[in-house]
Amino acid sequence: MTTRTVKFSIYRFDPEKDAKPYMKDYSVELDSSDRKLLDALVKLKVVDDSVSFRRSCREGVCGSDAMNINGRNGLACITDIDSLKQPIQIRPLPGLPVVRDLIVDMTQFFKQYHSIKPYVVNDTPAPDRERLQSPEDREELNGLYECILCACCSTSCPSFWWNPDKFVGPAGLLAAYRFIADTRDTATNERLDNLEDPYRLFRCHTIMNCVDVCPKELNPTKAIGKIKDLMVKRMA
């Protein structure tokens, strides 16, 4: 098996012993079967078991291993090592408090997600069978329901950095539109009321960082635009 050496510079911080964060250099021996950045981090952890990061599915569906890779947010498990300039600079997602190394405190991110009431609201009595929905109506949910809550988008959004407590952020707004767009949901008006606020929705200045980084190729900006359109329509 052919091996290669890959160089890293990794953000390290353990509040128990480090006064402040620092970058540490590593070089890791990799096999040809180690293709993704997560493979390399797992190998690195064998050598230095104190390097801390979250990971689970290793296939880009659970949203655990979002991090800042050479200045750009992404998932380690689906990022090709060989596409990256070395030394590969790895930092935690920007804008959230760091718990340790690459592990950030996501409380604020989930709080915003929860704030949009992320569930289908429909108080009409449920039929014995499924509620019917046409394939066309169902298609409206494509590009919305696939979000994995990785936070790559919100933590690359300047508006979210400045106002994480007030601005819902791209992930939360994408989710809000997912429920507005669902023909089975009857709470569109309440949902719009909930976002009618100088911060919650309107802090988005269409900078598009979110679209750029989303590992699932979703488009929060477009969803945000659609919510804004509905607001305007409602006022008219």
Selected from 27, 56, 186, 189, the binder of other proteins by CB under 8 A is 56
How many residues of this chain interact with other proteins, rule: CB under 8 A? 55
Positions touching ligand SF4 (CB under 6 A) are 147-153, 157, 159, 170-171, 174, 204-210, 214, 216, 218, 220-221, 224
Helices (H), the chain: 37-47, 107-115, 135-139, 158-162, 169-180, 188-195, 209-213, 220-235
Comparing CB distances to other proteins, the nearer of 16 and 165 is 16
> Binding segment for other proteins among 3-11, 53-61, 164-172, 219-227 (CB under 8 A)?
53-61
User: What are the backbone angles phi and psi of residue 74, rounded to the nearest 5°?
Assistant: -170, 175
Instruction: With contacts defined by CB under 6 A, name the span among 51-59, 105-113, 127-135, 189-197 that binds ligand FES.
Output: 51-59
Based on the shown chain and the rule CB under 8 A, indicate whether residue 21 belongs to the binding site for other proteins: no
Asked if 64 is part of the footprint of other proteins (rule: CB under 8 A), the reply reads yes
- Residue closer to ligand FES, measured from CB, 30 or 149: 149
d(CA 64, CA 224): 25
What φ, ψ does residue 51 adopt, rounded to 5°? -70, 120
Contact status: 124 vs other proteins (CB under 8 A): no
Tokens of 157: 């959004």
Q: How many CA atoms lie within 13 A of 193 on its CB side?
A: 5
- Closest to 224 (Cα-Cα) out of 152, 188, 173: 173
Q: Which is nearer to ligand FES, 77 or 147 (CB)?
A: 77
Contacts of 105 (CB under 8 A, 6+ apart): 96, 97, 98, 99
Binding site for ligand FES (CB under 6 A): 55-58, 60-65, 75, 77
